[in-house]
Chain A
Amino acid sequence: NAGVTQTPKFRVLKTGQSMTLLCAQDMNHEYMYWYRQDPGMGLRLIHYSVGEGTTAKGEVPDGYNVSRLKKQNFLLGLESAAPSQTSVYFCASVDSYYNEQFFGPGTRLTVL
């Protein structure tokens, strides 16, 4: 049982480049989330999904898109990266009873 995994662990982009971050969970959870964490700050919710084929905006959705084509995967896309998107990105999933949110190890993204 791998829990929540994130790919890649590190990435450096140039301004304007695009990329996709992959989050995968093997716990059959319905709900999945993408957060970002800037230095010295708490996590902020970007987008979330309450089930396969559904997505919704969180607190800071601008500049990001997401897709949930399969229940176990939640993808976060940056269409045109900006330096302000330099951050650590965390994915999480939770079972339908909201008891515990499981987080992945994070992806460190630097945009130059």
Chain B
Amino acid sequence: DAKTTQPPSMDCAEGRAANLPCNHSTISGNEYVYWYRQIHSQGPQYIIHGLKNNETNEMASLIITEDRKSSTLILPHATLRDTAVYYCIVRGGGTSYGKLTFGQGTILTVHP
């Protein structure tokens, strides 16, 4: 699976949009971009995933560049409860059997 690079930490003001970047320059054509978050040592929580098109759900939006070498997770109106570690993961299909390779992620701190 492709390796990802994320900033170690970011800050965001409550109510503002949080934009979390991720580089995955070695991603291959059949690999998906997944985002998970982990709040205070709980089990990771799925946020969103995409292949090449931008995606949106009730939690967030995922913007993938046209060359697919980077992506941005957008939390449109961050709240204090969004403070967490956010993991960007590139996962292949086929024989990868859904295995996820976690890096160290980005610690997002939302402040009042």
Contact = CB atoms under 8 A, between A and B. Distances in A.
B42 A102 contact: no
Interface in A42-95: 42-45, 48, 50, 56, 58-59, 88, 90, 92, 94
A43 B102 contact: yes
B43 interface: yes
A98 B45 contact: no
Contacts of A40: 104
Given A48-B97, A98-B91, A101-B98, A106 B103 contact: no
B43 A104 contact: yes
Given A48-B97, A98-B93, A106 B41 contact: yes
Given A31-B97, A42-B87, A88-B41, A102 B46 contact: yes
Main secondary structure on B side of the interface with A? loop
A103 B45 contact: yes
A105 B43 contact: yes
Interface in B17-72: 32, 36, 41-46, 49
B99 A45 contact: yes
A94 B42 contact: no
Given A103-B45, A104-B43, A33 B102 contact: no
A48 B99 CA distance: 8
B101 interface: yes
Contact of A106 (B43, B45, B46): B43
Given A58-B99, A101-B46, 18 more contacts: A31-B98, A33-B100, A42-B87, A42-B102, A42-B103, A42-B105, A45-B99, A59-B101, A88-B41, A92-B43, A98-B32, A98-B91, A101-B44, A101-B100, A103-B44, A104-B43, A105-B42, A106-B43
